[in-house]
Amino acid sequence: MSWMEWYDSLVKPSWTPEPATIGTIWQILYPIIIASFAFVLIQAFRKKVPWTAAWPFVINLAANVAFTPIQFGLRSLALAAADILLVWVTIIWMIIAIWKYYKWVAFAQVPYLIWVSIATVLQLSISWNNR
């Protein structure tokens, strides 16, 4: 069965957004994520911010990229739930770590944090309902 057929077969909460809506939200967020992450990494390489402020961005990016293969490739709801929790925690860590250096980067993560908070509750609900 295709990944979409598999996803459609899962028990989901009534408030689950349509896949197209989820895709649109990510299309809005990814440019913000890419620009702010690239800025932080460039500043870390230039030694304008310590790597301790950049590491949460690196970890977050890896966890974010890993989500889709975990969820739809491995079809592991439990691993996807753990991964999205890591994404959520690292966004908070990113905001705290970069705040004293570049407040605009911290503020730029707020829409990402809001969406991932919703996505985390959704993923945890799906994982729980399909255990």
Residue with tokens 């609900």: 125
Distances (CA, A) of 54 to 19, 43, 70: 31, 9, 25
Q: pLDDT tens for residues 30-84?
A: 999 999 999 999 999 999 999 999 999 999 999 999 999 999 999 999 999 999 9
Is residue 106 within 8 A of residue 98, CB to CB? The reply is: yes
Q: Is 21 exposed, middle or buried (0-12, 13-18, 19+ CB in 10 A)?
A: exposed
- Domain boundaries defined on the chain: 3-7+18-129
